Structure 1
Amino acid sequence: MTTDSSLLNSELQLQQQEELYQQLLLQTMGNMQTENPDSKVIRPQPGICVKTLSEPDKQKVFVNICQSNSVPPPPELSREELVELLQSEDPSGYRVPMSLGEPHTEIDNSSQGCTAYDVVINQEFFQRCQKDPLFQQFVILVSLEGLENKYSLELSRDWKVLKNRKFLGSVNEQNIRTKSRPVIQELQPQESSTATVKRPEFTLLVEPPAGDHEYLIAEIKLPGVPSSRSLVLDVGEDRLVLTARPSLFHLDIFHPFLIDQENSVAQYNKSTEPCQT
């Protein structure tokens, strides 16, 4: 019985390539897990516990609003500015950095099962909210809206702050961002004597159409735009801003979803000239 040495060499090369691939894969996964200077694991401090109900099934929901100086503070906001903000048609222009934890099952005082969520905000901002009922109501409101957007919930606005309880369950560690995401600023289109700034036609689609949505697709029609080099695109958690230079199109819209900015992608189709993100 003879052995073909060429076959043995070929199998050995394939085995070596597979081992090298596995080493590179493990190294890459290790780098992904450890090299993230913009986030870290923290154990927040208890703050207030808010009791509300889910809609329309009327199930008990508790929101633990916690505090940590590892969460970046929001922009400065006076009480007068807060009043104007709450009275405006679009109060979502002010952002409160927060970390939204995963839901966890707990037992309430009636020995009944319930769902709890942990929200972490900046400690100094939390202390300020404790001193002013208006600020406290505001931070509760934005916490509920954040949970609704992230987990596709509907929570009652008839909430109650528990007096003798700062936290329901146990304080868990959270992996939070240590740096604020870039704040989207409205881009002012450049003046031009030959062109008029227009709002482009656009379409928003979700995939899958029913159930838990995994993707939000924005298709924007940009006739006359020669290449993607003339486009400036900013994607926020719930906002999209697009400007086509010089002074052709400007789009600034909010959407009712929470977007993972770091994993967002954009494509430019030369044949149809849309910008798809």
Structure 2
Amino acid sequence: MTDSSLLSSELELQQQEELYQQLLLQTMGRMQTENPVSKVIRPEPGICVKTILEPGKQKIFINICQSNSVPPPPELSREELVELLQSEDPSGYRVPMSLGEPHIEVDNSSQGCSAYDVVINQDFFQKCQKDPLFQQFVILVSIEGLENKYSLELNRDWKVLKNRKFLGSVSEQNIRTKSRPVIQELQPQETPTAAPKRPEFTLLVEPPAGDPEYLIAEIMLPGVLSSRALVLDVGEDQLVLTARPSLFHLDIFHPFLVDQENSVAEYNNSRQILTVTMPVVSL
């Protein structure tokens, strides 16, 4: 059932077959019933934020744009935001956003610089404009999103440009149109003992012979209490997973090009396993 050249850890054959069949039924059923989850849009300018890329001190500009094609985040009051920022793990509240690829622009000093476009829900953007605390929050979330996606280290001493809403020209983006968590909880689980380490994992391909259609990662995470502690980033040929606070960290490259937008992940608390299904892009 598996391509042994892709296995990075060993499981009993019976466990592999059971997990694989369960996941395949879930994945195929979902792909047959769900509507398309992305479309091309042209966002409206919002604010332009200037910061510094560490450690080289290069200037970085972040264009935070707005579009109602991006799903809104859950309702959040100012009091709840203050409580969230004071909590040890604010990652439980997620702001849906589209993170564009970097593009080269020219600043006011005629110097070349890098700019990134971030698109958030228009109504939420307007709410952030009315309250400086919300604006700081969405800037921080945007910076963290770019750092996670592109492995950057950005200075937190940013500046919002007063006379510029966008650096460069507004371009189209392919965004997700349906709001869904990156990781979905399936069943509750009693509190296990945390074990800081690199997790064991298995990579499977389907079908096992011929051209692969799906790459499936099964990651064992004993000690993880909730999917809210997980931060997952699926790249074209890379998978990065962090379990907070410092329980697990996994950063692997694989020999396939996958469809990031249509990849899905589910965390099964009863088995303490995260399953990531990634459609393989045919070249």
Q: Equivalent pairs: percent with the same residue? A: 70
Tell me, yes or no, if structure 1 residue 238 matches structure 2 residue 237: no
Kindly name which structure, 1 or 2, has the bigger radius of gyration based on alpha carbons.
1
- Matched residue, 2:180: 181
Aligned partners of 1:149 and 1:258 also within 8 Å: no
Amino acid at match of 1:162: L
Q: Which amino acid aligns with 1:60?
A: K
- Unpaired runs of 5+ residues, structure 2, are 1-30, 202-215, 234-242, 253-259, 276-283
- Structure 1 segment 83-94 matched on structure 2, within 5 A: 83-94=82-93
| Matching residue's letter, 2:198 | L
1:189 Cα shift?
3.5
Structure 1 stretches of 5 or more lacking a match? Answer: 1-31, 191-195, 208-214, 223-232, 241-251, 267-272
Map 1:193-232 → 2, pairs under 5 A: 197-199=191-193, 201=195, 203-204=197-198, 218-220=219-221
TM-score, normalization by structure 1: 0.63
Shift of 1:235: 9.2
After superposition, what is the alpha-carbon deviation per residue over 1:2-57, rounded to whole angstroms, capped at 9, x for unaligned?
A: xxxxxxxxxxxxxxxxxxxxxxxxxxxxxx9xx97211000000000000000010
The residue number in structure 2 matching 1:50 is: 49
| Cα distance in 2, alignment partners of residues 116 and 54 from structure 1 | 11
Aligned Cα RMSD in Å? 4.1
Q: What letter is aligned with 2:89?
A: D
1:133 alignment counterpart: 132
Partner SS state of residue 198, structure 2: strand
Letter in 2 for 1:49: C
Shift in alpha-carbon separation, 1:165–1:86, aligned structure 2, 3 A: same
Aligned residue pairs: how many? 208
Counterpart in the other structure of 1:263: 263
1:79 match: 78
Superposed CA offset, 1:102-149 (max 9, x none): 000000000000000000000000000000000000000000000000
1:89 positional shift: 1.1
Q: State which drifts further: 113-122 or 196-205.
A: 196-205
Q: Does the C-alpha gap of structure 1 residues 143 and 199 become closer, same or farther in structure 2, counting only changes over 3 Å?
A: same
Which residue does the alignment assign to 2:116? 117
One-letter amino acid of the structure 2 residue matched with residue 139 of structure 1? V
Q: Following TM superposition, by how much is the alpha carbon of 1:91 offset from its aligned partner in structure 2, in angstroms? A: 1.3
Partners of 1:216 and 1:202 lie apart in 2 by: 20
Q: RCO (CA 8 Å, sep 6+): is it higher in 1 or 2?
A: 2
The offset of 1:90, in angstroms, is: 1.1
